[in-house]
Structure formats: structure tokens, C-alpha cells
Structure 1
Amino acid sequence: MLLSRWLPGLANLLQYRREWFRYDLQAGLSVAAVQIPIAIAYAQIVGLPPQYGLYACVLPMMVYALVGSSRQLMVGPDAATCAMVAGAIAPLALGDPERLAQLAVIVTVLVGLMLIGAGIARAGFIASFFSRPILIGYLNGIGLSLLAGQLGKVLGYKIEGEGFILSLLNMLQRLGETHLPTLAIGVGALALLIWLPRRFARLPAALVTVAIATLCVGVLGLDSRGVSVLGPIPSGMPQLSWPQTNLAELKSLLRDALGIATVSFCSAMLTARSFAARNGYTINANHEFLALGVSNIAAGVSSGFAISGADSRTAVNSMVGGKSQLVGIIAALVIALILLFFTAPMAWIPQAALGAVLLMAGWGLIDIQAMRVIRKLSRFEFWLCVLTTLGVIGVGVLPGIIVAVLLAILRLLKSIYQPTDAVLGWVRGIEGQVDISQYPQARTLAGLVVYRFDDAILFFNADYFKARLLEAVEREPEPRAVLFVAEAVTSIDVSGIVALREVRDTLLARGIVLAIARPHGTFLRMLVRSGLARELEQRLLFASVRAGIRAYRVWRNQLQREALKEPGRAGAAQQPSHD
């Protein structure tokens, strides 16, 4: 039981079925075939040599296979997190490649520690703050940034300037410097990356494309004609180490690490939950915080950089038919063998081919169809999605996301501050009460206002509740009583109780009785604690709307009979009682 709680992957492997191995072996080889070129390409996003991308695969994949709860999720370099890592460490490294690698390790370990801390604090709910429109907008922004940043590799020159706008302007200004052999390699690689998945879905398109491009460079000697290649890649595994740093650097990296950790977790959870749902099991968000955190620390101490759930490699695993976490271990061992014995051929990989892989990765992050659906459903969330994209490409990943999240929270607060409400009536053929603003033909009882408020009554909306109820009373020609339907009021605080008492007193001063139907939960407990339930003498608290209306009819008929017996007598001070 303890093993399955803390090491679900290992617990699953201890119950391994022999018949799974054939599928897991095939899936592991396929994942490695996709992971290797992508990891090499993503290392360039961070600004690191290609071997660091492979370092970020081996140990993290093994660790997640033991600690993670998802049977399909593959961890590794991710375009979004790589872009965020680059933004965090590039200003501090000042162009020093060695320092860049050290800072990548530091920020990755910080990300891991934050994820573990969040898991211990059971903060899995954080993923809920990243709504679908915000995540789509964020990924669109990352995708556009990747497109702008990688076009230079395909065109054959280095694009100067930071950010989407400056990179795009610099590229357009220097189109005349395009290197035609490099452009031919890049365009050919793009064509293969588009065609191969459509024609041969099971082939690792990225690996085949990079291999063909490398073969062309070697056979045709294109490197001597100015086509840029990776160059020699050191063989062997990285040494486990911890770089030196100082307090000023840590303070700068902590903020960025928090953003990377949040985005890394949300991205991984979206992928893990999607594939878990397809395969009939569930994912524990709090445990995934721990698993992803330990995997990031493993990436850091093995000289890698921050990793996340890799959706493309997870999709390959699922498509080929991987059955267990052994897929990740097999893929990691294959990558380790490549690092130990087969790095020499990688020296001939053309930068244009890797640029093409990254262009396809960036394009794959942009989801136009999802934006169309969001626009159809909610204009606000559509513009929130667009704003997130503009924020990411304009002011940076983390500030863009923070602005979008704050806007979403402000909209939520506005909806709580001004929740929906209704004056209720009845329509023949419709069960229960209806909003009379939606049904003009609805019937009401003369003198009775049946009012519903659709949220908690708290300090920031208590005055709004009071104003709206009194406005509803003003619209009734000769109001005698108000029946407040409280079934949607889940909670009320001290300010809300004060507002409710003020409403009661204001109505009484005008000879109007306030009754409450369907009080429950925290709302009812606060009525009792505040003494308001006692002040209402339990005669004006009703278990249902129907009971309140029945009591009003009895009370109204009683007033009418007494008015006939004693003309001029005021009956408004009397109160209806339970039928």
C-alpha cells in the first residue's frame, strides 16, 4: 500500500506481465526515436549544446517511470518550458556558454523543489487557475515565438533582436542574406515533416527527416558550401554536479522558477489526464507534483534543464501500444546508449533540419480551431485567449500569463460581486418557478415579491444584494411581503447578515414582511448564530417556496376578512404563519 502510494510506477512494474514486454519494447524504441532529434533541437531554444537536451531525457525518464502515476506520460524537454528557461537564464549568463549551463541546472533544481513543495502542500488545485482559454493562448504565444526565433536557421542567418516583433522585423530586413543551400535543406525537411506523418503514420517523422538531411549534408558536402551543422558532440554521460551561485542570482531565478514550475505542471497534467481518461484510470494531481518535481531535480543534477510532460512523445507511446512505465525506462536506456557510443554521426546534423523540427513544433502549439470554438462560446474568454497570446509574445511568457490569470480572477470576482438574480413567477406547463424577465407571460401573486439571489452574500456584494432586492420591491405596485429564496446562497458573512437585517428593517418600516425560503448550510447556521432566525420567530423561515406561498395566501385571506369586519384597520404589521 505504501509503495503504490509513493512509487506507483515501481508498484506497477513489480506486477509486470510478460506479454506486455513486446509492446513496451516497441513503444520505447519509438519514443526514443522521436525524443532524440526533438531534445537536440530544444536544447538550442535554451541556448545549450545538443548533448544537454539528451542529458535532460535519460535520468528524468527513469525517475518518472518509478515515481509517476501515469502509465503513458513521457517526460522530457518541452518547447514552452525551454522558452521560459531561456528567458530566465540568458540575461544572467551574459553570453557565457558555461555559465548558461550552470544557470540552467540551478533553475531546474529550483523548479523541482517548488513542485515537490507544492505536492506536499497538496496544491494540485492550482492547475484549475489556468483555464483552457489561457492555456491555449499561452501555447499560441509560445508557438509564434518559436516560429519567429527559428526561421533564421532555415534561412541561413542568425536573427538578431529579442522577442517576437523584433525577431520578425530583423528577419524581414535581412531576407536578402538568405543562404540558398540552407534554405533548400530547411524547406525539404519541412516538406518531409508534413508528408511523412500523413503517408507513414507509424514512422518517427522527426528522426527520419533529420537522418535524411544529415545524409544529404554528408554525401553532397554541403557543410563546405556554408550549411551550418551541429559539429562534434562529446560522448559519455554527464557528471553529477552542483554549480556555484549567489543570493542575487537565486532571487532573480526564483520568480522565473515559479512560473516555469506552474506551466510545466499544468502542461504535464493536461497530457497525463487526457491519456489516463482514454485508458480508464485517474491521475492524482498532488502526487504528480511530487513526481514531476523529483524528475526535474534529476534533470538538474544530470546537467539537463527543466522538463515537463511531452505530449508528442506521449502520443507516440499511446499510438504504438505501450502498456506500462517500462516504456520510459527503455527509451532512456536507448538515449544513454546513443550518448555513449553513437554521438559521432550527430556532428553532421544540419541546423536547418533542427530548425524545421522546431518550426513544426511551434506550429503544432498553435490551435486556431480551439480559438474558433472559444469565440463561439464566450467572447470574453476568446479575448482573454488573444490577450494571453499577445502578452506572451509582447512582454514575455510569465508576465503575459500573470496578466491573463489576473483578468480571469477579476472577471470571477465581478461575477460574484454582481451575481444573477431574479424575481420569480409561474408559467403553466413549466415545473417550478421561472424568471419573469425571461417569461413576460409569467403569473405572480399580487402583493408578493418572490426574489432569488444566486450566490453567497459576502462583504463585497452585500450592498449589491440589498439594492437589488429593494429594487425588485419597488417594481411591485402594492407590495405586502417578500419571500427571499435562499437555496443558491451557499454562505453569508457578518457583512451579509448586517445587510439582510437592514433589508428586513427597511421593509418593516414600510409595512412589508420579509420571509426566507429554503435556507440551508452555512447560511442557515449564520442566521441562527446571529439571532436573525430567532428574530424572525421561525414563522418566516420556510422549507420550500411552496410552503412560503401557501402561508402568504392564508395571511392575505385573513387580512381581507379582518378588513371587511373592521374597515381601516392596518394589517401589515401582522405576519404570516406556517400553514
Structure 2
Amino acid sequence: MSLVPPGLQWVRAYRRAWLPRDIGAGVVLTTLLVPQGMAYAELAGLPPITGLYTSIMCLLGYALFGPSRILVLGPDSALGPMIAATTLPLLVADGDPERAVALASVLALMVGAIMVVAGLGKLGFIADLLSQPTMTGYMNGLAVTILVGQLPKLLGFSVDADGLVGEVVGVVEGVADGAVVPAAAAVGVGGIVLVLALQRWTPKLPAVLVMVVLAIVASSALDLAEHGVSLVGVLPQGFPPLTVPTVGWSDLAPLAAGAAAIALVSLADTISTASSFAQRSGQDVHGSQEMVGIGAANLAAGFFQGFPVSTSASRTAVAERAGSRTQLTGVVGALLIVAMIVLVPGLFRDLPQAALAAVVITAAVSLADVPATARLWRQRRVDFGLSIAAFAGVALLGVLPGIGIAVGLSVLDVFRRTWWPYQTSLGRVDGLAGYHDLRSYPGASRLPGLVLYRFDAPLIFANAKTFRDEVIRLARSDPPPEWIVVAAEPITDVDTTAADVLHALDHLLDERGQSLVFAELKDPVRAKLERYGLTDAISADHFFPTVGTAVEAFRARTDARWVVPDPTGALPPPHDPGTPPVPRLSPEDRTAAGPDTVAPPGTREDGS
């Protein structure tokens, strides 16, 4: 990782021809940053102005330390509920706005510190803790949670309830009791319809800005405040000074837990978005540097009354379509927001709160991915189940427990695949080189007395018993095989627990007059078996470089011939009745057997 911040590298390589595009894109971007910043601040349970403070500082922080040329950071709809879930339980009954801001700012500093430390430690792979199915389910659950949570504001009333079920009940009761403010509902619902329609039919128009401007015009012309519609009001003038937020010691533990969850979601979202836009522009994604860039953006926001931020795919897309070439676009946007809150803080005083709710709800709709969930149902039911479980975790238990469930399900899915890996027996298929899965080719030829067994996973403590049980089952089949050849190419590791199991298994098969044979062991795995002492217990002539050489060695010793099983899958006995099984060879016998017993290293299954 370079010691020179990426932002300074862009400055050195900047071309004058890029300036008009970056400035124009910055102006266009600002039209989206302002309404979304205020809306997502309220989604996080904070005053609208903090969304603007956050937008300014995170844009400047990422412009200096972020590696992407056009990635846009800012307040995010996915993080808003997580911030609220972390800070609201720490507030007193009616909530102190200043304390809420302080808690959110400390949260941003914690997220920033986690990101910077993880980035310097090259821990970008942490984003892989969230698999795509669980991330899809989590986002679907988050979308529903946001939608239900914003409905009261959209309709002009409030609900005092905890959890999705309680909020749904509160909304239904409010509507039934006549708490809906018609004017607010008209603004909110009309705003949603307008934004979605413009995004679909005229995607180049700034749909959110058009809706916000029309809402302000309608509010002012129709005096909606007199009809019970809540307005944003005049924003505080000026920019806050550098502030070190303070909270109680008892607040640090819950804030740290929330910060870890927010950092994980922010990182996963950023890496995904950065990869998508990098592919289109031919750039590379530097995961660790992205973590540092996100961390710097969060630290900058935290010291100026801001809250945690993440990447925004929609805002990045707007900047890209507007011709953005570098992070100067974000700097221009930040400066324009500063000019607005310093010179015209009353610009949004007539903006209805219902319009902000419409902004949040349209963003929540973009979080949900129902087609992806339907595709999981068609393609892989297990992944569909993981997605639904993650969705239920968020919807029923809450946002923070939901991310814990999503991570836990992703990790458990990895263990499940390792614990119960795919395993099968192999046979020879006419016209196809190599040896193939009997489940796919049940009519494949087999050698009497020989079983080719493939285990598709590292052999470790979690699945050693599964491996042992299957080998014993094969050994006890009728007729019993003389050799069980493990096609070990998929086995990428063997730990000490599995080594002990192999040792006991080899001894058990020896007592039965059967042999455990290995083919295609990778060199690092073979080296581990030697360190474990297994190559002393298992004869050297039972290790082969390929499955093909193991098969030929068996045929040379037994004169076995390939046969096609009858429709029941039964094979003839490996020898004529009364013929004893071929004993294992002593070292002297192996020497006498000659070099043809074991093929030279590098030989493939087909003998090439």
C-alpha cells in the first residue's frame, strides 16, 4: 500500500480537460446529495442537518484517501436503521438530539477506526463473511423494515412501537383510527409515484430533486403546514467546528458492537459497488485501500457531528452518467453543500417530512431484490432457505441481530459444505477419458474387488467421521472390495484429527484383509501425512500419482477385468470362490515387483 494518499496521486495526474466534466457532475450530484442526506439522517434518528454535515466530510475524506476515481460515499439507507438500532436504546425517554448526535458521531469514529486498522492489516477478505444469498435476504428484510418504519411519517402521524410486527400493528391502528393526514399522505404517496415513474421513464432526470422541488412548491403555495403537514423547517446556519464527541463509558460496548456490524455491511457494499464500476472503467479494486478510504471518510464525519457512511451505488451511477472523471466531483458537491448551509439555510424550510419519507421508501425499494430470491428458489433451495432465514432474522428480531444471523448463516453454510461434502464412487465410461461419477453414469464399468472413492473436501476434524463411516460402509459391501482407492485430488488438507482417523481406518482394513489406497494426493498434503507419520503406517506402494496408475497396479496384481454391473448394480465376486485375497506386499516384495508398480510423478489419469 502506497504511503502517498490516492487523492494526491490523482492531483498529480489530473488533466485540465477533465475539469468541466468534474464540475458539472459535482453540480448534478449535489441535487441528489442534499435531499438524500437529510432523509437518511432522519432514518437514523438524527436531525436532518447532520446528514449534510456527514455528506460534506465523508466526500472530502474519501477524496483524499479513497482509491476509486468516481466512487461516491455518503449517508446510506442500509446503514440508517443500523445506526438507529444502536443509538436509540442508549437515549433517555424523549431523546436528547445533542446526545443522539454525540452517540452517532462516536459510532462513526469507531467504524472509521475499525476500517483503517483492518485496511492497514489487509483484512479486506472480511467482506466475504456475508454470502450473496444471506446478503440478499438481509437487504430484503432491511427494505421491508425501512418501508414499514417510514409509513407513519409518509401518512402524517407517528407510531410508538418496537419491532416490525409492532410497527405494522401501529400503522394499521393509526389508519383505522383516522390518524392519517390527507395532505401529508398525498405528498408522500404522490412523491413515491413520481420518483419511481421518472426513474423508469426518464432516468437521466434527477427524479429525487424534481420531487423535492415540487413538494416545496406545493407546500408553499398551498400552505400545507396549516393542513397538519410537518415541515423540515430552517436548518442551522453555518458549519460545525471540529468536535470531539463524548459519551459515557457504559455506552462504549453497545456502540462497539453496532460499529462492527456497520463496518461489515459498509465494507461488503463498498467492495461490491467498487467492483461493479471498476469493471466498466477498467480499473482494479484495492480492497484494503478501500477500507482505509471508508475509514477516513467515517473519521472525518465523526469529528464534525456526522454519522457512519457507506458507498452509494445510485449516487455513483449519477456521477458516472454526468461525466465524472475523478474525486473532484465529490469535492465540488461538498463545497456546494457548504455554500448552501452557510448562505441559504432556509432553502428547504418548506419541505414536507412526508417527502423525505418518500425519498427513503424509494431507496428501500432499490435495496430489495425479489428476482434474485426467486432465482435462488429455482437454482438452489438451500441458498434460498439461507436467504429467507436472513430475511426473517432482520424482520422479526431487528437490524443488528439480523446482521449477526446473516454472518452466522454464511459461516454455518461453509461448515455444512465441509461437514457433509459431496462423496461418490467412480467408474469407467466408454468414450470418456478418466473415471466418472457413478451417480451420473450408473452403467459405468467397474473392476471387481476395487472401489474408486472420491471425497470432495479438505479432510479435517469436522468431516473425518463422515469419511471414515463411508469407507467402512464401502468395505462392508457385498462382495467386499480388496482395495478402496481414495481419489484424493479434491482433498486439499488433512489435519491431525483426520490423520488419526486415517491411521485407525488403515489398521481396521488391514485386519479385514483390505487395503486403503491413495491416488493424486497433492504434494503439500502428502508432506503433511509424512509429518504425521502416516507414510510409515501405510505402505508406500499404496500411494499413487494418479487414479489411472492405481487402477493399473490393481489389475496387474489381480488380473481383474472391467465389467458392467447388472441392473441391480451388483458386481461379481473379485475372485473365484476359495481364492484368498492378494496380500499387501512387504518392502522386499515391492522391490521385487519392479518400478512399473508405481507410475512416475506427473502421470495423468489417462496415462499421459
- Class of the TM-score when normalised by the shorter of the 2 chains: over 0.9
Is contact 1:241–1:301 with CA below 8 Å preserved after alignment?
yes
Q: Displacement of 1:246 after TM fit?
A: 2.2
**Structure 2 Cα separation of the partners of residues 570 and 246 of structure 1:** 80
In the alignment, what sits opposite 2:99?
Answer: 99
Aligned residues: 569
In 2: Cα distance, 1:384 partner to 1:65 partner: 37
Could you tell me whether the CA contact under 8 Å between 2:79 and 2:309 is conserved in 1?
yes
Matched, 1:428 2:426: no
- Report the Cα distance in structure 2 between the residues aligned to 1:197 and 1:436, rounded to whole angstroms: 52
C-alpha distance in 2, partners of 1:348/1:569? 98
Pairing 1:174–2:174 present = yes
Shift of 1:435: 1.8
Give the Å deviation of 1:478: 4.4
Given that residues 491 and 521 in structure 1 are in contact (C-alpha distance below 8 angstroms), is that contact kept between their aligned partners in structure 2? no
Q: 1:44 corresponds to which residue?
A: 42
Q: Write out per-residue CA displacement over residues 329-359 of structure 1, whole angstroms, 9 at most, x where no aligned residue.
A: 1111111111111211211111111111111
The DSSP-based 3-state class of the residue aligned with 2:540 is coil
Asked if the contact 1:28/1:330 (under 8 Å) is kept, the reply is yes
| Deviation of 1:444 (Å) | 0.8
Residues in 2 aligned to 1:568 and 1:97: alpha-carbon distance in whole angstroms = 91
Letter of the structure 1 residue corresponding to residue 30 of structure 2? A
Q: Which amino acid aligns with 1:17?
A: R
Distance in 2 of aligned mates of 1:351 and 1:167: 19
**Distance in 2 between residues matched to 1:455 and 1:184, nearest whole Å:** 58
Aligned counterparts of 2:130 and 2:581: Cα–Cα separation in 1: 56
**Structure 1: 5+ residue runs without aligned partners?**
559-566
**Counterpart AA for 2:375:** V
Shift of residue 507, structure 1, vs aligned partner: 1.7
Structure 2 CA distance, aligned partners of 1:275 and 1:443? Answer: 51
Residues 238-249 of structure 1 aligned to structure 2 (within 5 Å): 238-249=240-251
Whether the 8 Å contact between 1:514 and 1:540 is mirrored in structure 2 is yes
Gaps of 5+ in 2: 561-576, 598-608
Structure 1 window deviating more from structure 2 (390-399 vs 509-518): it is 509-518
Identity %: 35
Amino acid at match of 1:85: I
Shift of 1:261: 1.3
Picking from 516, 521, 524, the partner of 1:522 is 524
Structure-to-structure mapping, 1:25-104, within 5 angstroms: 25-94=23-92, 95-104=95-104
Query: Match for 1:105: what amino acid?
Result: S
After alignment, is 196-205 or 538-547 more displaced?
196-205
1:273 aligns with 2:283: no
CA shift in 2, pair 1:246/1:537, >3 Å? same
In terms of fraction of residues, the more helix-rich structure is 1
- Name the counterpart of 2:352: 350
In the other structure, the counterpart of 1:335 is 337
TM-score if structure 1 supplies the norm length?
A: 0.94
3-state SS in 1 of match to 2:42: helix
Contact 1:13 1:326 in 2 (8 A): no
* 2:362 corresponds to: 360
Greater shift in the superposed pair: 35-44 or 140-149: 140-149
Matched residue of 1:393: which SS? helix
Is the Cα contact below 8 Å between 1:72 and 1:276 reproduced in 2?
Answer: no
How far apart are 1:535 and its partner, in Å? 4.1
Give the drift of 1:368: 0.9
Shift of 1:479: 2.2
- Displacement of 1:304 in angstroms is 0.9
Map of 2:225 onto structure 1: 223
Contact 2:29-2:318 within 8 A present in 1 as well = yes
Q: 1:76 to 1:429 in 2, by over 3 A?
A: same
Q: Deviations over 1:28-62 (max 9, x none)?
A: 11111111000011111122222111000112101
* Aligned 8 A contact 1:492 1:522 in 2: no
1:563 maps to what in 2?
none
- Report if the CA contact (8 A) 2:21-2:325 is conserved: yes
- Between the aligned partners of 1:91 and 1:511, the Cα distance in structure 2 is 68
Q: What residue in structure 2 maps to residue 147 of structure 1? A: 147
- Residues 309/478 of structure 1: CA separation in 2 closer, same or farther (3 Å cut): closer
The answer to whether the Cα contact below 8 Å between 1:116 and 1:293 also exists between their aligned partners in 2 is yes
Corresponding residue SS for 2:484: strand
- Cα pair 1:77 1:308 within 8 Å, conserved: yes
Per-residue CA deviation, residues 135-185 of structure 1 (Å, 9 max, x unaligned), is 111211221111111112221111221222211211111111211122222
Equivalent residue in structure 2 for 1:302, among 301, 304, 320:
304
Structure 2 letter corresponding to 1:23: R
Partners in 1 of 2:159 and 2:97 — Cα distance? 18
Taking a change above 3 Å as real, the CA distance of residues 571 and 51 of structure 1, as seen in their structure-2 partners, is: closer
Paired with 1:38 and 1:484, the residues of 2 have a C-alpha distance of: 59
SS of 2:347's equivalent? Answer: helix
1:282 is aligned to 284
Counterparts of 2:439 and 2:376, CA distance in 1:
28
Tell which deviates more after alignment, 399-408 or 305-314: 399-408
**Structure 2 vs 1, CA of residues 92 and 530 (structure 1 numbering), >3 Å: closer, same or farther?**
closer
Match of 1:119 in 2: 119
Structure 2 counterpart of 1:18: 16
- Give, in whole Å, the separation in 2 of the partners of 1:58 and 1:116: 20
Which one-letter code corresponds to 2:138 in the other structure? Answer: Y
Moved more, 162-171 or 29-38: 162-171
Render the CA deviation track for 1:386-417: whole Å, top value 9, x for unaligned: 22122112111121121232233223212212
- The Cα shift of 1:187 comes to 2.5
- The one-letter code sitting in structure 1 at the alignment partner of 2:492 is T
Deviation at 1:236, TM superposition (A): 0.7
Give 1:509's match in structure 2, choosing from 508, 511, 524: 511
Q: Which amino acid counterpart does residue 459 of structure 2 have in structure 1? A: I
> 1:488 and 1:238 mapped to 2: Cα distance?
59
Deviation at 1:321, TM superposition (A): 2.1
**Pairs within 5 Å for 1:321-470:** 321-470=323-472
Going from structure 1 to structure 2, the CA distance change for 1:472 and 1:178 (only over 3 Å counts) comes to same
Match of 1:204 among 203, 206, 215: 206
Per mean C-alpha deviation after superposition, the further-off stretch among 43-52 and 72-81 is 43-52
